[in-house]
Amino acid sequence: MLPFTYSRASSADDAIAAVQKQQGAKFLGGGTNLVDLMKMGVEQPSALVEITRLPFADIEERAGGVRIGAMARNSAVANHPLIRERYPVLAQALLSGASPQIRNAATVGGNLLQRTRCFYFYDPSYRECNKRVPGSGCAAIQGYNRIHAVLGASDHCVATHPSDMAVGLAALDAKISVRGPQGERTIPFAEFYRLPGDTPHLETDLKAGEMITAIDLPAAAPGRSQYLKVRDRNSYAFALVSAAAVLNVDADRRILDARIALGGVAPKPWRIPAAEQALRGKPATDSTFSEAAEILVQGAKALRYNGFKVELARRTTVRALSSAAAG
């Protein structure tokens, strides 16, 4: 690990100024991903500015919805009555991720910004990784790519985004509030993550010096929801495929509204409006859900070892929607 300086910010403006002042400086939240990456030599910040004591940990009602401070711990959000009662899909997604110890330490702001778990990204002995070293190539494309993306990837990077929480937030139409040198702004969730294209090292819409201050959930949509995660073992494992489904079905079992987002298959939570449109007004049956699943995986491109994810994504979509419909 290379030497770095450490400071604890007492205000958001101080933190932003401190990160702006020193090239290579980073904000430090719970550290559950960043510190691991520093130990592996993947991240080499020149300075860490700890922000966990900034006043951004509240979870409160706001404008008919709920505002979650970026420093709120994953476990606090998952167990909060407002989240459990109004946004159960988010509580389910959070509780399916990591371990209780990690959820107690990790912040939701950090959860959004966690890095891919691509094996080659994590191991600097592999020289080819465009995300770690821009322009160096991608070892995963010809390598062991079982956990990699089948949607939204590029010839420069096929990594997936690892967050369960982000998949739930995508289905809930959350917004991300950020603060930076130019002031505050709000980013719709669908615009927060970038696809890799030829710049996979640029992962979000955040600009230099900007920090996440809150996640805003709109008023809870009527209906039921389900987060379904498929993985190699039943705990402490990342999703091979996951699905967050929010479904409103009338008394005749006709779908009034639907939202579906997939995880584990793409560089960001995968949501296709046409798939949701295909559900509206239709009967809540497996056949309807299959039509939506087919739209969600349109354009999927399998690598040597991850072809199974395409069919798994179809089946996970159908099962998550049918579980949500059944309540």
In the complex, the residues that contact ligand SF4 under the rule CB under 6 A are 116, 118, 120-121, 129-131, 138-140, 157-159, 200
CB of 43 to ligand SF4, least distance (A): 13
CB of 243 to ligand SF4, least distance (A): 22
CB of 162 to ligand SF4, least distance (A): 11
As a whole number of angstroms, the distance between CA 165 and CA 144 comes to: 26
CB of 141 to ligand SF4, least distance (A): 6
- What are phi and psi for residue 229, nearest 5 degrees? -120, 125
CB of 44 to ligand SF4, least distance (A): 16
As a whole number of angstroms, the distance between CA 47 and CA 77 comes to: 29
CB of 157 to ligand SF4, least distance (A): 3
As a whole number of angstroms, the distance between CA 200 and CA 204 comes to: 10
As a whole number of angstroms, the distance between CA 24 and CA 254 comes to: 53
For ligand SF4, give the closer residue by CB, 11 or 142: 142
CB of 140 to ligand SF4, least distance (A): 4
Which pairs from 288-297 meet CB under 8 Å and 24+ separation?
A: 288/255, 289/317, 289/318, 289/321, 289/322, 290/314, 290/318, 292/258, 292/260, 292/317, 292/321, 293/317, 293/318, 296/260, 296/262, 296/270, 296/272, 297/150, 297/151, 297/265
For ligand SF4, give the closer residue by CB, 18 or 118: 118
For ligand SF4, give the closer residue by CB, 157 or 262: 157
How far separated are the first and last CA of the chain, in Å rounded?
49
For ligand SF4, give the closer residue by CB, 140 or 165: 140
For ligand SF4, give the closer residue by CB, 33 or 116: 116
For ligand SF4, give the closer residue by CB, 94 or 138: 138
CB of 195 to ligand SF4, least distance (A): 12
Cβ-proximal residues to 239 (8 Å cutoff; 6+ apart), any chain: 96, 162, 164, 167, 229, 230, 231, 263, 264
For ligand SF4, give the closer residue by CB, 120 or 270: 120
Quote helix, strand, coil % in the chain, to nearest 5: 30, 25, 45
The answer to whether 2 and 124 are in contact (CB under 8 A) is no
For ligand SF4, give the closer residue by CB, 92 or 130: 130
Give kind and range of the element (H or E) at residue 110: helix 108-113
